[in-house]
Structure 1
Amino acid sequence: MENLVESALPALFVLPVLAVALAASGSRRTGSAALLFLLLLTLDGFLVSAPVVYDVAQVPGANWNWTGKALSLAWALAFIGFGPLSRRDVGLTVRQRPNSLRPAVLVTVGLVLLGVTIGAVFGGGGPLRVETLAYQLTMPGLAEELAFRGVFLALLHRAIPAEAGAAVSWWPAVVTTLAFAFTHSPSLEGGRIAFAFLPFLLPLVAGAAFAWLREKTGSLLWPTIAHNGLNAAIFVSGSVAGAA
């Protein structure tokens, strides 16, 4: 039960911002998409954490939560396959919007350099293992980008349409970025809500960059590359710094 409550915290924390966004949009016909976003956000958190919390279906000998991320990928792909969103809606395309390649590359390189800096300053968790590198280069970007900058962002674009004359509403990016940060902090500790600022700050900054990449390019390709590049850079740089 506590795991389900903790999984619902991001939805509860982002709810006031979502309510403001819905009110600002003036749309009264798309509340179902916003509700679905909150429910799926909670489901994603529960599925990702369940293998670790209940010690079930974990990869033998693994140090990372491969099963939880695989479950996140599974529900998102199933929702895209059978739900109301198309692959184009969620950014499952390699085609990029015109004039977006150069800024996407620059932002991605900047995020990787940020990861190198963070790893060098704060260090890592000891020697870099092959599993750690394999995990960071694949699962976080694939699972989290498909969910947050894919399904969740698309649902909120339906819930919060762009104002007349605007190319796109940025409210969905704001709400999903906050939701992404809230999945990293707060947490439940002994039945009480604990909030850690640094684990919230980095996903907030990075999530904003990932959302910008998604909106700029119209695809999940660069957000996924940037996400995995940032994560891998933190661990590689931290391992090098720790060994020095």
Structure 2
Amino acid sequence: MDAAIFSLSFAVAAFVVFALCKPFDRRLTLAAGALFALYLGLDDLVTGLASSVPALAVVGGAWNWSGKLYSLALAALVALALGIKPAALGLTLRQRHLGTSLAVLGLFVVWGLGLGLWFKPGVADAETLAFQVSMPGLAEELAYRGIAPALLLGWIGGREPRREERMPWAAIVATAVVFGLWHGLGYARGAYSFDPMSALFPFIGSLAGGWLRFRSGSLLFPLLIHSVANLAFHLSAYLDAYLGGG
């Protein structure tokens, strides 16, 4: 029950964020905001299914592999049902401004290492590294940098982005704020909680990822910066040990 209440509350919060960003971009309509909020609420719900119903944990392990697979399946279903084309999701290997993307990738390696040295996550096992370098980047970038902005901008029913369209900052900020809230908000036993630090860093990373998705015209580098930052964070224990040993 807690999971369902949180997902509904999260969808409401997503719609409020949309409403605050809507005046800054005429492309954001009420219907788009409703789809955006509904999708992200459902994404949260399916991502937590394996934790709420252990029988649905089709993949074992300490990490939520099953939930991320359900999130990917939901994204595919929504894209097919609403006629969202690959170009609207950034599903292309063709890159604009490749040099910029490579520079941001390098910065996110440093970002991940820096956060790891600060928060000290400890030595990660093989499953942790495999999960962190794959599933969060795949599922979360497709949801928050692929499907969600496409819904906000009305790129459904076969509509595609035009090359000359301006940077959709309202959609980027909306998805970044909601992504931060998703990491920082909690609900258990009738009470909400909020951890500002858990929300802040995903929000910052999401702003960069959203900008890069539209700057490059592709979801590839947002996915890569997410994955390498996660990997660097969990490998930072080795750098910490080396620096301490020095």
TM-score (norm 2): 0.88
Tell me which residue corresponds to 1:155.
Answer: 151
1:156, 1:186 → 2: CA distance? Answer: 22
SS at structure 1 position matched to 2:183 = coil
For structure 2, list consecutive stretches of 5 or more residues without a partner in the other structure. 156-160
Tell me which residue corresponds to 1:8.
Answer: 8
Question: Within the alignment, does 1:71 sit opposite 2:70 as a pair?
Answer: yes
SS at structure 2 position matched to 1:183 = helix
Q: Give the letter for the 2:131 counterpart.
A: Y
Deviation readout 1:98-147 (Å, 9 max, x if unpaired): xx1111111111111111011112111x4321111111111000000111
For structure 1, list consecutive stretches of 5 or more residues without a partner in the other structure. none
Deviation of the 1:215 alpha carbon:
1.1
- The percent of aligned pairs where both chains have the same amino acid is 33
Deviation of the 1:239 alpha carbon:
5.6
Deviation of the 1:166 alpha carbon:
6.4
Q: Give the letter for the 2:234 counterpart.
A: F
2:221, 2:98 → 1: CA distance? Answer: 9
For residues 60-99 of structure 1, the aligned pairs below 5 Å read: 61-97=60-96
Tell me which residue corresponds to 2:22.
Answer: 22
Equivalent residue for 1:110, pick from 107, 111, 120: 107
SS at structure 1 position matched to 2:192 = strand
Deviation of the 1:16 alpha carbon:
2.8
Q: How many residues align?
A: 236
Query: 1:177, 1:207 within 8 Å by CA — same for their partners in 2?
Result: yes
Alpha carbons of structure 1 residues 239 and 71: separation in structure 2 relative to 1, 3 Å: farther
1:149, 1:209 → 2: CA distance? Answer: 11
| Higher mean C-alpha displacement, 34-43 vs 9-18 | 9-18
Deviation readout 1:3-27 (Å, 9 max, x if unpaired): 1111233333333331133234456
Deviation of the 1:212 alpha carbon:
1.1
Alpha carbons of structure 1 residues 27 and 104: separation in structure 2 relative to 1, 3 Å: closer
Moved over 3 A (4+): 23-28, 238-244
Deviation of the 1:217 alpha carbon:
0.5
For residues 1-244 of structure 1, the aligned pairs below 5 Å read: 1-26=1-26, 30-58=29-57, 61-97=60-96, 100-124=97-121, 126-158=122-154, 167-238=166-237, 241=240
Deviation readout 1:173-222 (Å, 9 max, x if unpaired): 01011111111111013211100011001101111111011010010000
Query: 1:210, 1:223 within 8 Å by CA — same for their partners in 2?
Result: yes
Alpha carbons of structure 1 residues 133 and 53: separation in structure 2 relative to 1, 3 Å: same
Q: Give the letter for the 2:125 counterpart.
A: R
Q: Give the letter for the 2:194 counterpart.
A: F
